[in-house]
């Protein structure tokens, strides 16, 4: 299905190419190093975290836009990140058909290494939906003055061992999922946003998954402060209580020339008696938090170096799993 979406975009480009008004090709490369305490993922230290992306975007016939993005990850996996054709009758509205990043919260559509000051994905965004959450269907986006909106219909998420394991590229139950996001610029410095998603996720199409999010951000010439809250509800089979998860993410950053020190506090509470990496009824019971401190160095606009230290904590047990990471990113 991914290849069909990419083929749909490429086919349209071949037909409409002669009338193309503007084409853009750009990309990025990123690699890193991580080393953790004895109970962390990489206690001995390792190089890795390789990512690379190529983005081909443009307009044709004045009212048609297109986007094709290919992304390589360090698991030796090449993915289609986006592949869609858009109808844009005005500068304030576009209708996209194909394979798109789901506009839920602020992070998912801006998850590339050059778009985030931290290396590690924040706890709520890493646990409440799949990495680079994508869907196939229709997405309408627009902006009218200070108000921005997104609304989409797609195949939706499927049932997995947890919320991060629900990515699918075909509809498993015949139920169309729907969602959207609203954003409001209260001033040049202050912005608000809310997001919502709902769809049936089990193969029989009987149980609902509901996701909600709210965010606020304030930015000046030197300071950046953002906050995001996310909540999930999962309907479970009869005899099991409803699953739920919620998380907070706070980020503060200061720009001092080419350097940007930053700090973040993140939480996740995830309780689901039915799902889990182990067999039912083991379920999921997480209550974790993280303090993260970091530094971003960007001597030129297309190059950055990041260093990050994560202080990880779990409510139920004491783990020695703090982690230090470094990453370099180059844009071209």
At 274-324, the pLDDT tens digits run 998 765 567 999 999 999 999 999 999 999 999 999 999 999 888 889 999
Structural domain tally of the chain? Answer: 1
- H/E/C letters for each residue in the chain? CHHHHHHHHHHHHHHHHHHEEEEEEEEEEEEEEEEECCCCCCCCCEEEEEEEEEEEEEEECCCEEEEEEEEEECCCEEEEEEEEEEEEEECCEEEEEEEEECCCCCCHHHCCHHHCCCCCCCHHHHHCCCCCCEEEEEEEEEEECCEEEEEEEECCCCCCCCHHHCCCCCCCCCCCEEEEEEEEECCCCEEEEEEEEEEECCCCCCCEEEEEEEEEEEECCCEEEEEEEEEEEECCCCCCCCEEEEEEEEEEEECECCEEEEEEEEEEEEEECCCCCCCCCCCEEEEEEEEEEEEEEEEECCEEEEEEEEEEEECCCCCCCCEEEEEEEEEC
pLDDT of residue 188: 93
**What is the predicted pLDDT for the residue at 15?**
47
28 domain-assigned: no
**Per the structure block, which two tokens stand in for 281?**
């009824």
25 lies in a domain?
no
Residue 11 lies in a domain: yes
pLDDT score, position 8: 47
Low-confidence ranges of the chain (pLDDT < 50): 1-6, 8-10, 13-20
* Residue found by looking up tokens 């853009």 in the block: 24
For the chain, report the end-to-end CA distance as a whole number of angstroms. Answer: 29
Domain that holds residue 291: 2-18+36-331
Q: Is residue 27 part of a domain?
A: no
Q: What's this model's pTM, rounded to 2 decimal places?
A: 0.90
Under 8 Å between Cβ of 307 and 329 = no
pLDDT score for 33: 96
pLDDT on residue 280: 58
26 is a domain residue: no
Q: Is residue 24 part of a domain?
A: no
Where residue 47 sits, what CATH number does that domain have? 2.40.160.10
Is 71 within the bounds of a domain? yes
């Amino acid at each position: 299905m991914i290849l069909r979406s990419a083929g749909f975009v490429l086919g349209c480009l071949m037909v409409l190419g002669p009338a193309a008004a503007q084409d853009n090709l750009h990309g990025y490369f990123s690699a890193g190093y991580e080393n953790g305490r004895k109970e962390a993922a990489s206690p001995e230290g390792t190089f890795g975290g390789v990512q690379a992306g190529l983005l081909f975007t443009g307009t044709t016939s004045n009212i048609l836009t297109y986007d094709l993005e290919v992304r390589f990850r360090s698991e030796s996996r090449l993915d289609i990140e986006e592949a869609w054709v858009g109808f844009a009758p005005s500068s304030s509205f576009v209708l996209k058909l194909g394979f798109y990043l789901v506009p839920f919260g602020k992070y998912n559509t801006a998850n590339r290494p050059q778009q985030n000051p931290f290396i590690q994905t924040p706890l709520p965004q890493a646990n409440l939906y799949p990495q680079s959450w994508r869907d196939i269907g229709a997405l309408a986006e627009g902006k009218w003055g200070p108000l921005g909106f997104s609304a989409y219909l797609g195949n939706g998420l499927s049932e997995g061992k947890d919320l991060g394991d629900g990515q699918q590229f075909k509809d498993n139950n015949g139920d169309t999922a729907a969602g959207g996001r609203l954003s409001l610029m209260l001033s040049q410095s202050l912005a608000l946003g809310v997001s919502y998603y709902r769809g049936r996720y089990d193969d029989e199409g009987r149980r609902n998954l509901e996701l909600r999010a709210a965010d606020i951000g304030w930015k000046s010439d030197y300071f950046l402060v953002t906050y995001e809250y996310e909540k999930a509800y999962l309907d479970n089979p009869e005899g099991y209580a409803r699953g739920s998860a919620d998380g907070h993410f706070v980020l503060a950053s200061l720009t001092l020339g080419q350097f940007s020190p930053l700090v973040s506090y993140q939480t996740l509470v995830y309780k689901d008696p039915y799902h889990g990496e182990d067999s039912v009824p083991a379920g999921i019971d997480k209550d974790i938090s993280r303090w993260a401190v970091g530094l971003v160095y960007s001597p030129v606009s297309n190059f950055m170096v990041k260093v990050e230290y994560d202080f990880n904590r779990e409510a139920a047990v004491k783990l020695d799993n703090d982690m230090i990471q470094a990453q370099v990113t180059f844009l071209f």
